[in-house]
Amino acid sequence: REAERAERQKAMEEGYKTATRVPLRTVELCRDALVLCREMAVLADPEMVSDVGS
């Protein structure tokens, strides 16, 4: 009975890890995009800076 409980707990923990992979990757990609926007804003023509964030 204790072994089943431990196995179930382990399966749930793995499920939680799997469930967080896509949202975590999405946040990482958004962060990367913001870094690129910041770099582009520095290089862009001042009249076009508002377009960088779009």
Q: What pLDDT is recorded for position 44?
A: 77
Residue 52 is predicted with a pLDDT of 67
- Cβ of 28: how many Cβ atoms within 10 Å? 10
Q: Which domain holds residue 9?
A: 2-52
> Dmax of the chain from CA atoms?
69
Q: Where are the alpha helices (DSSP H) in the chain?
A: 2-43, 49-52
Residue 18 and residue 26 in contact, taking contact as beta carbons nearer than 8 Å = no
Q: pLDDT truncated to tens, each residue of the chain (54 aa)?
A: 999 999 999 999 999 999 999 999 999 999 999 999 888 878 877 777 677 666
Q: Considering its fold, how many domains does the chain have in total?
A: 1
What pLDDT does 40 receive?
A: 83
